[in-house]
């Protein structure tokens, strides 16, 4: 559904909740929240980070203004109008002029402490000109140009593209490797100061932030009537695609801080501010054909081919239909008049079909009976929505599998990107991943846009991958249900490829993180003659995945023990998790009778309570560092 429909329902629900408070425990708003990640220390917001209520028309905007006039007993209210940046909210804390902490919004009460990542924002000063302390909030985002550049890099290394700049910014802020974050060029606009020396109006506070060298948005304007607010909204609704970054509306704030205080807050948002949301732009066009994409696992994805139409300033002739369930839900026919929407993603989607305009003889779209590439009869497994080509030899699948094989988190063969893989297949230089290791410089150098130098480069990149860690190798094989993380666990716990190939599903399922479905999928994969042949070929060509030596020694106190981590620690949780696992412990998510230790940091909450009740031993970082010796010293 579109954002507007969603917000409409959400609003109706909240109104119903207000009338029936006894139903509130059932409310989706109680359980839908963005959980802070496990990897960063959690930090509680001293002042909660609220959201804004939305209006969708100038009429609703005027109603909001009328309500405020009544509350304040005056018709003279000045407003600040700002762009609503489509990124994610963060809070930044300076102490005595030094940038100390950066936190994501999280669920509004607590977020992830991502200071190192925020420090990569080039416009954010680490030191202020005066030794002042303040907390400011703003929006982290990726400019369109930086987003395109990031996706180009990802395509080149075979990684999936981000759907939109906001997702890319959110994903980047959560990376553990700040050098990669730096490369992605995150940007920031600060829009609200919540602590520290304040002026008497919001616009003056913004000006002061700017004087301190902090990044604020240059388009903010102070106006003195709701009609000027409406003009600002109308202007940006028409012109926002000209900005170098995405916005999804305008935020209007009462300018006087005294008035803000007077009107105060509701439970979820301030009464003194509102978001004017732009209507998602739509376009109507005609569906001419459906193209099928074939993925690495044979999944067939329908793509609508359309009469070109302009949407958000670009000419669109393709739209995603997601899967055939969606096609049958819309009861799509060839020649149908369809409505498209951008919905925050680069590839537009079909959101509605006008059945009334359908010609009586129009053909209904059916799931394909045969693979468009290799003509094998398609299958739909019980309980799955996707239709698949079951032929593992299907050339398109082979190609997609090789792309997965070379990608960064798999074999990391960075000199082999999508264009080269396509060339290699087209010239029949390879038919599968193992063939990469038989390539020769001479043959490669014959390819278009490739000289001896690049060919050597490619060969070196392939050569380096022969000794990738076992986990990365397992991930590269593309075992169904085994992602990058499971592959690593499998490698660490089983130690060698041989052990994994010989393991029964019962043995595999004994590994904490691996359930029955995954275990069976692994066994089935290694029993498949096709896969066996591929693995034999890889080994014969000298691929020797290495099980990284477990860093440090197994530690007697921890070996075979179960540990739970909670609270704010001085290092990311992932780091502790890895160290603990390397020391022979297994790390689980919740405290139970089986838990041996709780590693508790600051602000440990319910897990600490439960551990105390069950008599679970507590550990702190200092003790662990002592046990682990020099390895875990900071």
Q: Is residue 82 a contact residue for ligand IVH (CB under 6 A)?
A: yes
Helix ranges (H only) for 377-448 are 395-406, 418-426, 441-445
Options 170, 273, 519, 564; binder of ligand IVH; rule CB under 6 A = 273
Q: How many CB atoms lie within 10 A of CB 426?
A: 10
Cβ(572)–Cβ(41) under 8 Å?
Answer: yes
Q: Determine the Cα–Cα distance for residues 488 and 471; give it in Å rounded to an integer.
A: 4
The site map against ligand IVH for 173-192 (x = CB under 6 A) is ------------------xx
Q: By C-beta, is 275 or 519 nearer to ligand IVH? A: 275
Q: Determine the Cα–Cα distance for residues 255 and 393; give it in Å rounded to an integer.
A: 65
The site map against ligand IVH for 385-414 (x = CB under 6 A) is ------------------------------
Options 270, 298, 348, 471; binder of ligand IVH; rule CB under 6 A = 270
Whether residue 84 lies in the annotated active site: yes
SS3 599: strand
Q: How far is the CB of 47 from ligand IVH (least distance, A)?
A: 9
Q: Determine the Cα–Cα distance for residues 110 and 38; give it in Å rounded to an integer.
A: 13
Q: By C-beta, is 140 or 415 nearer to ligand IVH? A: 140
User: Cα separations (Å) of 174 from 111, 197, 219?
Assistant: 11, 31, 29
Q: Determine the Cα–Cα distance for residues 420 and 472; give it in Å rounded to an integer.
A: 22
Write phi, then psi, for 30 (nearest 5 degrees). -80, -25
Options 55, 68, 85, 327; binder of ligand IVH; rule CB under 6 A = 85
Q: By C-beta, is 270 or 348 nearer to ligand IVH? A: 270
Q: Determine the Cα–Cα distance for residues 334 and 287; give it in Å rounded to an integer.
A: 6
Q: How far is the CB of 39 from ligand IVH (least distance, A)?
A: 22
- Describe the strand order of the beta sheet including 247-254 as a list of residue ranges: 54-55, 273-277, 247-254, 79-85, 221-223
Q: By C-beta, is 84 or 409 nearer to ligand IVH? A: 84
Q: Is residue 251 a contact residue for ligand IVH (CB under 6 A)?
A: yes
Cβ(317)–Cβ(340) under 8 Å?
Answer: no
The site map against ligand IVH for 305-334 (x = CB under 6 A) is ------------------------------
Catalytic residue among 84, 253, 349, 409: 84
Cβ(286)–Cβ(336) under 8 Å?
Answer: yes
The site map against ligand IVH for 44-63 (x = CB under 6 A) is ------xxx-----------
For 181-195, give one letter per residue: b (16+ CB within 10 A) or e.
bbebbbbbbbbbbbe
Q: Is residue 84 a contact residue for ligand IVH (CB under 6 A)?
A: yes
Choose the binding region for ligand IVH from 62-70, 224-232, 270-278, 475-483 (rule: CB under 6 A).
Answer: 270-278
Q: By C-beta, is 191 or 330 nearer to ligand IVH? A: 191
Q: By C-beta, is 249 or 478 nearer to ligand IVH? A: 249
What secondary structure, in 3-state letters, does 342-385 show?
CCCCCCCEEEEEEHHHCCCCCCECCCCCECCCCCCECECCCCCC
Options 135, 139, 336, 435; binder of ligand IVH; rule CB under 6 A = 139
Options 89, 252, 474, 509; binder of ligand IVH; rule CB under 6 A = 89
Q: How far is the CB of 12 from ligand IVH (least distance, A)?
A: 18
Q: How far is the CB of 229 from ligand IVH (least distance, A)?
A: 14
Q: How far is the CB of 192 from ligand IVH (least distance, A)?
A: 5
Q: Determine the Cα–Cα distance for residues 177 and 168; give it in Å rounded to an integer.
A: 15
Helices 621-628 and 573-582, packing angle to 10 deg: 40
Cβ(110)–Cβ(47) under 8 Å?
Answer: no
Task: Tell me the residue number closest to ligand IVH, measured at CB.
Answer: 89
Q: Is residue 511 a contact residue for ligand IVH (CB under 6 A)?
A: no
Q: Determine the Cα–Cα distance for residues 216 and 188; give it in Å rounded to an integer.
A: 8
Cβ(164)–Cβ(105) under 8 Å?
Answer: no
The site map against ligand IVH for 275-294 (x = CB under 6 A) is x-------------------
Q: By C-beta, is 249 or 567 nearer to ligand IVH? A: 249
Q: How far is the CB of 85 from ligand IVH (least distance, A)?
A: 4
Cβ(247)–Cβ(84) under 8 Å?
Answer: yes
Kindly give, in sequence order, each residue whose CB lies less than 8 Å from that of residue 182, ignoring residues fewer than 6 positions away.
Answer: 120
Q: By C-beta, is 47 or 443 nearer to ligand IVH? A: 47
Residues serving a catalytic function are 84
- Interaction site with ligand IVH (CB under 6 A): 50-52, 82, 84-85, 89, 105, 139, 191-192, 251, 270, 273, 275
């Amino acid at each position: 559904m579109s954002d507007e429909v969603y917000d409409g329902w959400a609003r109706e629900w909240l109104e119903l909740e207000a009338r029936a408070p006894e139903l509130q425990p059932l409310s989706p708003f109680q359980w839908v929240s963005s959980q802070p990640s496990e990897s960063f220390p959690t930090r509680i917001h001293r002042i909660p980070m609220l959201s804004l209520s939305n209006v969708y028309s100038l009429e609703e905007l005027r109603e909001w203004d009328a309500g405020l006039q009544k509350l304040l007993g005056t018709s003279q209210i000045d407003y600040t109008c700002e762009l609503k940046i489509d990124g994610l909210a963060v809070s930044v804390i300076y102490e005595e002029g030094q940038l100390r902490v950066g936190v994501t919004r999280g669920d509004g009460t607590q977020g992830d402490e991502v200071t190192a990542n925020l420090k990569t924002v080039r416009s954010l000063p680490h030191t202020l000109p005066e030794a002042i302390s303040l907390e400011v909030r703003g929006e982290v985002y990726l400019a369109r140009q930086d987003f395109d550049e990031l996706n180009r890099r990802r395509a080149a290394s075979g990684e999936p593209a981000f759907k939109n700049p906001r997702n890319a910014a959110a994903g980047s802020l959560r990376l553990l490797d700040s050098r990669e974050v730096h490369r992605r060029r995150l940007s920031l606009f600060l829009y609200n100061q919540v602590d520290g020396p304040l002026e008497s109006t919001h616009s003056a506070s913004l000006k002061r932030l700017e004087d301190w060298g902090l990044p604020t948005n240059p388009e903010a304007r102070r106006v003195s009537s709701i009609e000027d607010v409406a003009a600002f909204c109308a202007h940006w609704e028409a012109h926002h695609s000209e900005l170098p970054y995405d916005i999804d509306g305008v935020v209007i704030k009462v300018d006087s801080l005294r008035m803000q205080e007077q009107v105060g807050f509701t439970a979820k948002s301030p009464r003194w501010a509102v978001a004017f949301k732009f209507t998602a732009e739509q376009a109507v066009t005609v569906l001419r054909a459906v193209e099928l994409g074939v993925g690495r696992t044979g999944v067939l994805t329908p793509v609508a081919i359309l009469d070109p139409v302009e949407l958000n300033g670009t000419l669109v002739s393709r739209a995603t239909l997601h899967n055939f369930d969606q096609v049958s839900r819309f009861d799509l026919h060839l020649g149908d008049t369809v409505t498209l929407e951008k919905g925050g993603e680069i590839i537009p989607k079909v959101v509605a079909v006008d059945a009334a305009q359908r010609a009586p003889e129009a053909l209904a779209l059916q799931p394909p009976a045969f693979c468009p590439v290799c003509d094998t009869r398609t299958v739909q497994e019980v309980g799955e929505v996707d239709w698949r080509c079951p032929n593992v030899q299907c050339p398109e699948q082979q190609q997609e599998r090789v792309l997965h094989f070379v990608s960064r988190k798999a074999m990391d063969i960075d000199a082999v990107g999508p264009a080269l893989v396509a060339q290699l297949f087209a010239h029949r230089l390879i038919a599968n991943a193992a063939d990469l290791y038989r390539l020769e410089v001479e043959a490669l150098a014959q390819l278009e846009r490739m000289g001896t130098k690049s060919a050597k480069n490619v060969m070196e990149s392939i050569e380096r991958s022969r000794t990738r860690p076992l986990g990365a190798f397992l991930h590269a094989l593309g075992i169904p249900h085994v992602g990058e993380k499971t592959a690593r666990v499998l490698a660490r716990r089983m130690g060698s490829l041989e052990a994994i190939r010989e393991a029964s599903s019962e043995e595999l399922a004994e590994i904490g993180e691996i359930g029955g479905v995954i275990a069976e999928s692994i066994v089935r994969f290694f029993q498949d003659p096709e896969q066996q042949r591929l693995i034999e070929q890889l080994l014969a060509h000298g691929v020797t995945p290495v099980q990284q030596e477990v860093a440090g020694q197994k530690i007697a106190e921890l070996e075979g023990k179960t540990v739970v981590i909670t609270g704010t620690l001085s290092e990311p949780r992932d780091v502790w998790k890895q160290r603990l696992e390397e020391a022979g412990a297994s790390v689980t998510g919740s405290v139970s009778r089986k838990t041996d230790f709780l590693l508790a940091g600051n602000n440990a909450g319910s897990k600490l309570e439960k551990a105390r009740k069950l008599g679970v031993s507590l550990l702190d970082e200092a003790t662990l560092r002592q046990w682990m010796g020099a390895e875990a010293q900071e």
